[in-house]
Structure 1
Amino acid sequence: MKEKEKRIIIYLLLFLIIEITIYLFLIPGLKNSLLSQFDTYNYLRKSLIEAKGKNSRLKEELTKWEEVKKELFVIEKDYLFPNSIEEIRLLIKKLSLNSGVSIGDINYSYEDILENISRIKIDFSLVAPYDSLRRFIGEIEKEPRFVVLKSISLVSTSSDSINAKVSIYIYTKRKE
């Protein structure tokens, strides 16, 4: 063999040794690195899909809460009394005049039931004929705002009138 051929063979052997070294040491490290990156990519992809699902569920939940908030606003605006004792007295007077009952000794007690809603228990005595008492109960039931008849206790009756103790609840917006 000539000198030139020997050099070519030596260069080929060196090249082969370098290739084997690269294959044995660098390729497994690159392979592990690529597999690790692929696993990370799959994990992040799954996390993104889960986050999108949670995001859509949270958006739906937020929409529902906004609807509830609107409904509460309507309830507060249309059905709750302002926390005004004068307006409550006027309501009781209106109910008694419309039904023909006589009301005496009114007592009020307050209770906070929600963040912005209070309940006022109103106890009073009432004297009326049976038909007027029935009309009074009907007036309470027809009242569009939250007025609840809690109890009627008959104290005494006579042929022309009933003497009773009445308790009602009125729901109001709590004072800020």
Structure 2
Amino acid sequence: MKHRVIDSPVGPLTLVVDDAGVLCALYTDGQKYVPDAVGLGERDDTIADDAVAQLGEYFAGTRDDFDLTLAPRGTAFQAEVWEALRAIPAGETRTYGELARELGRPGASRAVGAATGRNPISIIVPCHRLVGASGSLTGYAGGVERKRWLLDHERGELGA
């Protein structure tokens, strides 16, 4: 494992690659469920250039989707939820219940929420696009203000 820290409009981002150089994590500053420094591996600011470039395009407003090979670590159910998150178009939201139904598990909204909270590749795997049943910005491991910023950014509501 190796990691790299980059600046972004939502604060420092820590990108982590596995031994094959595949992105396995992207953490925001202060995010819940981040491993300790040893779990991130050594710092190497030459890794993940493709992810850094695509994140730059995303924050510049010229990219909605990411075209990266990812290797998130989690259970089979978590992986299923994370893959479903990637199908939510930029600027749109789904509720936890809607995503559970899309997965064929209509009673699993809490489990979807738990899996979403453990998403290790934030922004690229867009867990910020999930909202509460009422449309409220409930829960986000990176903080609700960051979630609001990401959604506003994707909807073009931040101004010039």
Under a length normalisation based on structure 2, what TM-score does the superposition of the two structures give? 0.28
Higher relative contact order structure (alpha carbons within 8 Å, sequence separation ≥ 6): 2
Larger proportion of strand:
1
Larger proportion of helix:
1
Under a length normalisation based on structure 1, what TM-score does the superposition of the two structures give? 0.26
